[in-house]
Structure 1
Amino acid sequence: MIKAERHQRILARMQEAASVTVKDLAKAFATSPITIRRDLIELGERGLLERTHGGAIATHEVFAEGSARYEMYNYGERNHQQSQEKAAIAECAAQFVSDGDNILINAGTTAQALAQALRGHQDLHVITNGLTVASTLGQGVRTSVYVLAGRLDERKQATIEHPGVEGFSRLQVREAFLGVHAISTEGIYMRDSEDANMNRAFMDAARQVTVLADHTKFQAFASFLIGGWTRVHRLVTDELADQEVLQAIREQGVDVVVVEGL
């Protein structure tokens, strides 16, 4: 396991448990206690934890980097974060969609950027749980948009539903385009279980899956795994993404597309 991956997983654990021990981490990551101590020293120097005898405790910044920080911003504010990267990633991803295509796009600000990039396409059939995705695509040329029913989450501008309901079992699309909260060498993650469950169902409904993620998702922490890279065909990201993590993802058979020149 590469260092960036260990750091991400250490912080993800601390979001849940608030404290960790060197012994437990060394066992969990199949590495030496010396390596873990070095990791904790580096994370401590970044202000993300406080070292204790035999381990570490989380600082406020750990939670601020995860769900707590996410909650601080409304949808409109998040939409302006990394807007240039999101737009470039979306324009690139739109090239993999043809007129008349049958696709699924999840909710979120990167997904909305893709919807904007697809407005020049014609005769699309799009399934989404994103309200802003639907309203943006509704301005396209002869585009049919199907919004999944469910509970409205105003903060996410999305409908949320348990994937066990009848409608999900009948979903089938050529490709799903998914924005996510976090990325590691093991897979893609969401910050809450409802989102993860729903996006897992989206993956099951698609013949191919493309993940859209700017470089900040490689530094983020999220607890709930949607799926491993064996379930993903393509990752579209920007040139500031962690190169070690990208190489590890490539080695798992994923087509990694990096948008350059931002």
Structure 2
Amino acid sequence: MPPALRRAQILQRIQRDGGVSVADLARAHAVSAVTVHRDLEELAHRGLVERVHGGARSLGPAPGVPAIPTAWVQRADQSREAKAAIAAHAVRYVEAGATIFLDASSTALAVARRLVEDPPNEITLVTNSPAIAFEVQAEALHVIVCPGELDQHMRMLAGRWTVEFLAELNFAVAFVSAAGVTLDQGLTTARRPLADVVNAARASAERSVGLIDASKFGQASLLSIARAQELDAIVTDSGLSSAAARQYRAAGVRLEIAYPEESP
């Protein structure tokens, strides 16, 4: 296992459990205690964990101190019903035995939750989202977490390691998102690492499906990711106006509307 991937998995376990010992990590990853010490030192040096005697612990908020909402948490709290409907529609693209990619968006998390509720057989789910990795607990779903540098604010793994890792894989479908979408600028984001991950996943996928709620239509951010027409489909919610839907379809975008009754 590449060191970057092992460190990402170690970080996920520490964040999930609150702390872990060197001995436990050495057994879990079949490596020496010296190797685990190096991994923990690297994570601590990057400010991701706190080293303690015999192991490491997470950098959670102190007792009684509320956590500061990150951008990801704020996004997850927005348009919950719309995202649930989009997820219920999007899972139609997932077939038994497939390998799929889910990005680190809150709508992709809704897709992961839907898959856990009714998992197709033998699905391999690849993601750059620690939150999705924690959420997925179903025997029928095999989860692979991308290596990379952790963006704490966006709750995603990104960077050169992530892009190179994705380039080596093959997906039946990649589910991706964006901060906004217009016909002129296409899918957009304010973060270059996010754009690079999305494009790497798309390049490795037979089909790419956009998960974009209605509030993001007509919004353009700093960087263009891809033209809307380059995706095999964009799934949005019923909050999008009929006029806007006609405009995008007339421009060659395969737009699919998810309605609330599709969600559980």
For residues 103-153 of structure 1, give each alpha carbon's deviation from its aligned partner in whole angstroms, at most 9, with x where no partner exists: 11100111100100111213111111011112222x123311111100001
Over residues 9-45 of structure 1, what are the superposed CA-to-partner deviations in whole Å (9 max), with x where a residue is unaligned?
xxxxxxxxxxxxxxxxxxxxxxxxxxxxxxxxxxxxx
- Which of 98, 101, 108 is the aligned partner of 1:101? 98
Q: Flag the 1:188–1:88 CA change in 2: closer, same or farther, 3 A.
A: same
Q: TM-score, normalised by structure 2?
A: 0.66
Q: Which residue of 1 aligns with 2:85?
A: 88
Is 1:123–1:143's contact at 8 Å kept on the other side of the alignment? yes
CA contact (8 A) 2:163 2:197 kept: no
Q: What is the CA–CA distance in structure 1 between the aligned matches of 2:180 and 2:243, rounded to whole Å?
A: 16
Q: What does 1:240-255 align with in structure 2 at a 5 Å threshold?
A: 240-255=239-254
Distance 1:232 1:74 in 2: 26
Instruction: Provide closer, same or farther for how the CA distance between residues 248 and 93 of structure 1 changes in structure 2, counting only shifts above 3 A.
Output: same
Distance 1:220 1:156 in 2: 19
Q: Shift of residue 182 of structure 1?
A: 0.4
Does the Cα contact within 8 Å between 1:203 and 1:231 map onto a contact in 2?
A: no
Structure 1 residue runs of 4 or more that deviate by more than 3 Å after TM superposition:
71-74, 163-166, 242-245
Partner of 1:177, secondary structure, is strand
Kindly provide the amino acid, as one letter, of the partner of residue 255 in structure 2.
V
Give ranges in structure 1 of 5+ residues lacking alignment: 1-70
The residue aligned with 1:258 is 257
Q: State, as a whole percentage, how many aligned pairs show the same letter.
A: 24
Once structures 1 and 2 are overlaid, which stretch shifts more, 241-250 or 83-92? 241-250
Please say if 1:168 is aligned against 2:153: no
Note the C-alpha offset of 1:225. Answer: 0.9
Secondary structure of 2:93 counterpart:
coil
Cα distance in structure 1, aligned partners of 2:173 and 2:163 = 21
Checking the alignment, whether the CA contact within 8 Å between 1:152 and 1:159 is kept in structure 2 is yes
Distance 1:253 1:156, change over 3 A: same
> Which of 119, 123, 146 is the matching residue for 1:148?
146
> What residue in structure 2 maps to residue 214 of structure 1?
213
Cα pair distance change 1:93/1:234, threshold 3 Å: same
Note the C-alpha offset of 1:219: 4.5
CA–CA distance in 2 between the matches of 1:163 and 1:243?
A: 41
Conserved? CA contact 1:184–1:245, under 8 Å: no
Once residues 100 and 94 of structure 2 are traced to their aligned partners in structure 1, the CA distance between those partners, rounded to angstroms, is: 8
Q: How much has 1:242 moved relative to structure 2?
A: 4.1
Distance in 1 between residues matched to 2:240 and 2:182, nearest whole Å: 11
| Structure 2 unaligned residues grouped into runs of 5+ | 1-67
The whole-number CA distance in structure 2 between the counterparts of 1:101 and 1:217 is 29
RMSD (CA atoms)? 2.2
Q: Secondary structure at the match of 2:198?
A: helix
**Counterpart residue identity of residue 130, structure 1:** S
Deviations 1:51-87 (A, max 9, x none): xxxxxxxxxxxxxxxxxxxx97542232111011101
Partner AA of 1:125 in structure 2 = T
- Compute the displacement of 1:261 (Å): 4.6
Shift of 1:218: 1.2
Is residue 104–residue 127 contact of structure 1 (8 Å, CA) maintained in 2? Answer: yes
TM-score, normalised on structure 1? Answer: 0.67
Output the amino acid matched with 2:165.
Answer: G
Q: State the aligned residue count.
A: 191
